Structure 1
């Protein structure tokens, strides 16, 4: 009898273990179906792909604001698992350039923007998307707006109304002064003694450079009429480059896009048609001022010639400098 009892208890115990395993498996299947990632363990160092821009940061930075969207996702509280790119990095389909300000805020708990930053509206949209009310308020203050104390008092005729009235008067006076300055004499700070402009934003230089080679066909013969360009590089004043090349200008290698009066050497074009770039410069009033070129690599071979392709030997670099002078 004792042996039968022991066998019964063992069977019951085994059935109980199988039930627990089945229940655990069922819970995992339910998580997979619903996308529940509660309790997911994220690495202490997280790689992110935000709109094509790659960032590496600490998990503690992303979860610093636990009520933010990033805090919810990377603390495992989200019902939807984050997407991953082909390299396994967590993917966010947002503005990759502006995300650096989101990350800086989480690291330093304060907003720091470059001088003359011109994308505050877009940055506020990003801050609202990531659910960072502190950052949203900081951006509003940086824009000179937001629900400040003076604005709250303005509705009841309090001191805020008086302050706003004084600001409006100052703005009106400033506009009048600006209008008068437009008709100022030759002694204006923006003019030379002869009346010409000292800072004419229409004047300037743009340098267009490219690295290219020639394609080769049968028997290693060069087709000199078939030019292969790797990339057309644009250097110059940011505002002039944007004016000339418009939406064909690629600024992805120079993320500090807010300042139009600075200079850059990191812009390039979204196409490889050199003559199209020249046409756009000519239409904008630019004329070729100077040019330079390097010799092809094939003029002097280095290393192992057997490992050099014909195209490598004909690789060369050219630069063209265009100038636009103002009518004044």
Structure 2
């Protein structure tokens, strides 16, 4: 079968491949689409347009080229990629992702944060909901890296080279608690417990630059996530 170069626009991300690659799987939606490309939706440049996740499509193309699943070590979107594989009707890729998801390492990750409530010029009348100084991460090093990837800050951890160990010195490069929760949920973790210190205030003098009223509302919360 002869092959021609094909340009695609997948969700706004552009790809150049060949007809041979796209039709590797005879019963896939891509094969059906290419065999009827005269009726395909096209963008303003004439590229075939597919209204799906353009970033994840790179893994679809890789699989069609090589017939194997190869993902980065810190890849966190296996469930989403599986949905894409189901859309494109690629049974072998669906099976590989299913097996991959079933063999995820079980474990426990604890997420904690020190926070307060931020006050404006008008004091209590101008309270902002939450002010986090840092989100802390505790658990097995390999597991924490798998879940949080590049958002994990390891600069305070003294034993960088040792992977199969535990640490309580990791923290995140951002201060969005819900983003951390989303990342854990995407990797199959479930919240099993939490605790907090409450906002009891303190008699100690606040550090320079820290608002006295805000200092009274300092608290620490911790959340335990488990993947079985």
Decide which structure has greater helix share. 1
| TM-score, normalised by the number of residues in structure 1 | 0.35
The structure whose residues are more often strand, as a share, is 2
Q: Which has the larger radius of gyration?
A: 1
- Give the structure, 1 or 2, with the largest relative contact order (CA under 8 Å, sep 6 or more): 2
